[in-house]
Chains A and B, each alone.
Chain A
């Protein structure tokens, strides 16, 4: 049939309708480009973030190879500076943040009993903007000349980008411009996502799901989203200032013209410290979901865990200057921020004790997600306690900017966030694929990463206390640091091996994993009431929620001693009715290419802004050919594309008739 039909020219609206119809079939590349389904956007967020995780991981390995022994020249100082800048930037903005977004997207609507997020197309827009920003940022690597001769063009100012080092006078080239514009674009993606999740959580919960019946993960999503919408504008302003200094000769940070370098630090860390909690709160949410399920007990002290998360959110705004103790803020400011930093340990401690109490006297099902969650508590505790040592300001003058700090924040962000994200991947994999991940490989994966992690970062703590500063590309042979650095390099490759095992496990399980059924872990939250993988519409019938851990209470009742007694199957009619309908008559938002078109405008505008003052060579390769272009008009081209996307978006029907 298809072979005989002669293709006719379609009108544009007709073509768009056909494209949306193709998208709605859930097959082929087109359906991914146009999807507005939160689950698919979550998968894309996760895949992109994992890709960047591999990129950032390779950068970490390059750093470790260089530092394995003293006086090495595997990387030259210029390459080293660019690579550690990109390692930090990538891991924060392109890995842990979007991994959080991936889990929000995959889980929040399912956990609150909704069919999608509040603004599905804005959700797609958020992802495409993120992807464009991330690619733009990494493109900078290729702009430093001949990349095959090791001439890198990536930013070289550190992930914190301290002015005045990031001004044109000290960092020529375009690396910092890519960094500034890239982060600006990523901020837009984060804001779009954050607003979306706040509205989704506040407005789209299933009947009966009051705020205090929400899973902790949803609570942490809410807190994280609020942190994002207040924190991102702060760094956006700082980045605008830096852009104006670099591109148009403004003097916000230019000392010789009366500018103040400390202004940048205040702005950056006023964003940067809430950012730390933006990275860790989703992880805390994941762990708070996994521990009760694998302990067969409810979360100990749900209100305390929730309120301590909210308290962390508020307090995170009052500790930013603990990144700046040595800048000469004065005794009053240092004391105030020292005390506030001491205090933020309290809500964090509450969570740790509550998680331990959840495990206490439970029936612990020692599976991979549980191992990663316990590993999270074990490592995060060390990160938290070393954090307390930073609040002891006078002794922190010794530790500031040393490898002790590097060890501390990896303890929190890798031992914390990344461990929880691995745990979450193992835990929810069956929900989205219908298959279990392999346990044996899971255990190998966990132990490689756990041992590798400790081999990498605990020696760094020692090296830091022995006086090794951060961000140095080499060190003398008689400073006593080589043993610890060699150990850290061995650890880093062990971690890499662990990540490799994860990838193997993921692919193998996807292809021929054991069938999981709808509820393989005997879980407590709503996402496990629907089929695995969930249908496009999630819930055939919107559930009615009667309590916290509603699904558990539909499976078990408690006897007089508080022990759970399984309810006979079918006793609760809603337990298995959810999601097993045929889905007829459910209106889902139509797929749309418009969010992607609108998002495409940003990196193009960004490229124009990076080269706004350039009329000469912008690209060269293989030491030979070069590309000469006037880049400024790209701003107009990008803006035009964005307008087309937004126009189409506004006038396209949200659902098909």
Chain B
């Protein structure tokens, strides 16, 4: 029954229209977001039965043990039960400990940047983003910045490749978040944070700043475009030489809302 419930939940989140969103964490398009959803659902296997037990337990007790008219006898005075109480101290503790390997494993996996990753420089400022790439000759080339009204060219990443993001902030704390590809990492001023992600499906994925950064925080949106290796190479070529950019220019004027 539980499996059905959880499966139904996952289905609803990915299928039904009120449950669909370009930023839906339940419709992952990359390895990191996929693993994160899996781990969240794993937690639900533990959390939902306990929730049902408590909520239904309370409801049943309210009905069964309610004071009835003409029923004046007082209940037996139970002061406690050490064995029972030790049980519900130790059992949840052991159950919870079962999560530790997943937690630590996940932290280490996401914390260690893959060695063969494509490196991208992410720059955040109030209120926009721009992205820098390594050209074949090792120099840094940068795309145009986004702004509150212009979504900019977005971040291009090659399909199926692990991409290391180096996060830099020019002013206050921001947070880089593309829900369908990976959970967020804060972009701190004065230090470089790292994260990695991988796009497993071609597409255009919405992201936005997830750390409150002032007046137009809500409008600090951006896009990540998962493209084929060839298209990625052509984009880098466009940034380096300024040629062949026509196929990319149309994208930058698309509304941020799609």
In terms of DSSP, what is the predominant structure of the interface of chain B? mixed
Using an 8 Å CB-CB cutoff, how does the interface string of B224-241 with A read, 1 for contact, 0 for none? Answer: 000000000000000000
A239 to B69, CA, bound (A): 58
* In the assembled complex, A382 has its CB within 8 A of some CB on chain B: yes
Q: Are A338 and B103 neighbours in the complex by a CB distance under 8 Å?
A: yes
B65 contacts A361, C-beta separation under 8 Å: yes
**Contact partner, A398, options B36, B71, B92, B217, Cβ 8 Å:** B36
Please name the residue on chain A nearest to B25 by beta carbon: A398
Check if B65 sits within 8 Å of A359, measured CB to CB.
yes
Is B115 an interface residue when CB atoms closer than 8 A count as contact?
A: no
Given contacts A366-B62, A400-B184, contact A563 B76 (CB under 8 A): yes
B215 within 8 A of A: yes
Is A397's CB under 8 angstroms from B186's CB?
no
In the complex, the answer to whether A563 meets B74 with C-beta atoms within 8 Å is yes
Q: Report the tally of A-B residue pairs with Cβ distances under 8 A.
A: 306
CB neighbours (8 Å) of A150 from chain B are: none
Determine, out of A4-12, A290-298, A537-545, the stretch whose residues face the partner at the interface: A290-298
A417 to chain B, nearest CB (A): 18
Asked if A16 lies at the interface with its beta carbon under 8 angstroms from chain B, I say no
User: What is the distance, in angstroms, from A352's C-beta to the closest C-beta of chain B?
Assistant: 6
Q: In the complex the two chains form, what is the Cα distance from A166 to B42 in whole Å?
A: 38
Cβ-based interface call for B8 (8 A): no
A395 & B36 in contact (Cβ 8 Å cutoff) = yes
Cβ of B258 under 8 Å from chain A: yes
Residue of B nearest to A468 (CB): B23
B33, B65, B214: the one contacting A81 at CB < 8 Å is B214
- Report A562-589 CB contacts with B as 1/0, cut-off 8 Å: 1110000000000000000000000000
B61 within 8 A of A: yes
Among A345, A363, A396, which residue has its beta carbon within 8 angstroms of that of B67?
A363
Considering the complex, give the chain A residue whose CB is closest to the CB of B92. Answer: A349
Assess whether B80 is in contact with A395, with CB atoms less than 8 Å apart: no
Known A77-B215, A339-B103, A466-B24; judge A297-B184 contact (CB<8 A): no
Q: How far is the CB of B91 from chain A (nearest CB, A)?
A: 9
Please tell me if the beta carbons of B79 and A300 are within 8 angstroms of each other in the complex: yes
Q: Provide the B195-214 mask, 1 if CB < 8 A to any CB of A, else 0.
A: 00000000000101111111
B222 sits at the interface (CB 8 A): no
Interface string of A24-50 (1 = CB under 8 A from B): 000000000000000000000000000
Binds B, one of A227-235, A430-438, A478-486, A644-652: A478-486
- Contact residues of B between 96 and 151, Cβ < 8 Å to A: 96-97, 99-100, 102-104, 106-112, 126
CB distance from A30 to the nearest CB of B (A): 46
Specify which of A260, A334, A400, A466 lies most central, judged by the most chain B CB atoms within 10 Å of its CB. Answer: A466
Asked if A54 is at the interface (CB within 8 A of a chain B CB), the reply is no
Q: Is the CB of A357 within 8 A of B211?
A: no
Which residue of chain B lies nearest to A482 when distances are taken between CB atoms in the complex? Answer: B18
- Interface residue from B65, B67, B111 paired with A334 (Cβ < 8 Å): B111
* Nearest CB on B from A635, distance (A): 30
Taking the nearest CB of chain A, how far is it from the CB of B147, in angstroms? 15
Cross-chain contact B77 with A385 (CB below 8 angstroms): no
**Complex formed: what's the CA distance from A262 to B242 in Å?**
40
For B182, what are the chain A residues with a Cβ–Cβ distance below 8 Å?
A: 397
> Which of A297, A394, A469 has the largest number of chain B CB atoms within 10 A?
A394
Identify A562's interface contact among B35, B76, B104, B215, CB under 8 A.
Answer: B76
B67 and A328: CB pair below 8 A?
Answer: no
User: Which B residues lie within 8 Å of A326 (CB)?
Assistant: 175, 183-186
Is the Cβ of B184 less than 8 Å from the Cβ of A397?
yes
A139 close to chain B: CB less than 8 A: no
- Given A261-B188, A395-B40, A558-B77, the answer on whether A335 and B103 have CB atoms closer than 8 Å is yes
The interface residues of chain A lying within 8 Å CB-to-CB of B219 are 474
Q: Which residues of B contact A479 (CB under 8 A)?
A: 21-23, 206, 257
Residue of B nearest to A464 (CB): B25
* Size bin of chain A's contact surface: 35 or more
Known pairs A164-B172, A328-B185, A361-B75; A346 contacts B179 (CB<8 A): no
Judged by a CB distance under 8 angstroms, whether A327 is at the interface is yes
The answer to the question of B2 belonging to the interface, with a C-beta cut-off of 8 Å to chain A, is no
Given contacts A466-B19, A478-B22, whether A393 and B93 have CB atoms under 8 Å apart is no
Say yes or no: is A519 at the interface (Cβ < 8 Å to chain B).
Answer: no
- How far, in angstroms, from A477 to B255 measured CA to CA in the complex? 12
Residues of A within 8 A of B100 (CB): 339, 342
Q: Is the CB of B62 within 8 A of A304?
A: no
In the bound complex, residues from chain A placing their C-beta under 8 Å from that of B78 are 297-298, 300, 357, 361, 562
Interface string of B20-49 (1 = CB under 8 A from A): 111111100000010111011011101100
A564: chain B residues within 8 A (beta carbon): 74, 77
Is there a chain B Cβ closer than 8 Å to A255's Cβ? yes
CB distance from A477 to the nearest CB of B (A): 7
B21 with A364: CB separation less than 8 A:
no
User: A474 to chain B: which residues have CB within 8 Å?
Assistant: 218-219
Contact B76 A561 (CB under 8 A): yes
**Does B50 belong to the interface (CB within 8 Å)?**
yes
Report the minimum CB–CB distance from B210 to chain A (whole Å). Answer: 5
Question: In the complex the two chains form, what is the Cα distance from A28 to B58 in whole Å?
Answer: 46
In the complex, the answer to whether A466 meets B171 with C-beta atoms within 8 Å is: no
Spot the interface stretch: A109-117, A126-134, A373-381. Answer: A373-381
- Determine whether the beta carbon of B79 is less than 8 Å from that of A298: yes
List of B residues within 8 angstroms of A330 by Cβ: 111
**CB-defined interface of A333-358 with B at 8 Å, one 1/0 digit per residue?**
01100110011011001101110110
Question: Which A residues, 53 to 81, have Cβ-Cβ distances below 8 Å to chain B?
Answer: 77-78, 81
A302 at the interface (CB under 8 A from B): yes
Given A350-B89, A366-B62, A388-B47, CB of A394 within 8 Å of CB of B106? yes
Contacts of B44 in A (CB 8 A): 389
B92 touches A345 (CB 8 A): yes
Contact (A466, B26) CB under 8 Å given A77-B215, A389-B40: yes
Point out the residues of chain B lying under 8 angstroms from A382, CB to CB.
51
* A556 closest partner in B (C-beta): B74
Give the contacts of A384-407 with B (CB-CB under 8 A).
385-386, 388-389, 391-402
List A contacts of B108 (CB < 8 A): 331, 335
Chain A residues near B214: list those with CB within 8 A. Answer: 81, 156, 165, 170-171
Known A388-B47, A480-B20; judge A356-B212 contact (CB<8 A). Answer: no
The answer to whether A616 has its CB under 8 Å from any CB of chain B is: no
Cβ of B159 within 8 Å of any chain A Cβ, yes or no, is no
* B103–A298 touching, CB < 8 Å: no
**Is B256 part of the binding interface, using a Cβ–Cβ cutoff of 8 Å?**
yes
Least distance between B52 CB and chain A CB atoms (Å): 10
A327 in contact with B179 given A343-B96, A466-B26, A468-B23 (CB within 8 Å):
no
Asked whether A361 lies within 8 Å of B103 as measured between CB atoms, the reply is no
Q: Is B245 an interface residue (CB 8 A)?
A: no
Cross-chain contact of B77 among A78, A298, A377, A484 (Cβ < 8 A): A298
Q: Can you list the 6 inter-chain pairs with the closest CB atoms, starting with the nearest?
A: A397-B183, A467-B23, A394-B106, A480-B21, A472-B218, A476-B257
A residues bordering B, Cβ < 8 Å?
77-78, 81, 156, 158, 162, 164-165, 170-171, 255, 259-262, 295-298, 300-304, 326-328, 330-331, 334-335, 338-339, 342-343, 345-346, 349-350, 352-354, 356-357, 359-366, 374, 377-378, 381-382, 385-386, 388-389, 391-402, 462, 465-481, 483-484, 556, 558, 561-564
9 additional A-B pairs beyond A353-B85, A469-B208, beta carbons within 8 Å, are: A301-B82, A303-B80, A326-B175, A327-B186, A335-B108, A395-B43, A399-B183, A400-B210, A470-B212
A-B contact pairs, 22 of them (CB 8 A): A164-B171, A164-B172, A300-B79, A300-B81, A328-B194, A334-B111, A339-B103, A363-B73, A364-B62, A374-B58, A381-B55, A388-B96, A389-B43, A394-B39, A398-B183, A399-B183, A465-B24, A466-B13, A466-B21, A472-B217, A478-B22, A562-B77
- Residues of B that sit less than 8 Å from A by CB: 13, 17-26, 33, 35-37, 39-40, 42-44, 46-47, 50-51, 54-55, 57-58, 61-62, 65-67, 71, 73-82, 84-85, 88-89, 92-93, 96-97, 99-100, 102-104, 106-112, 126, 171-173, 175, 177, 179-180, 182-186, 188-191, 193-194, 206, 208-219, 256-258
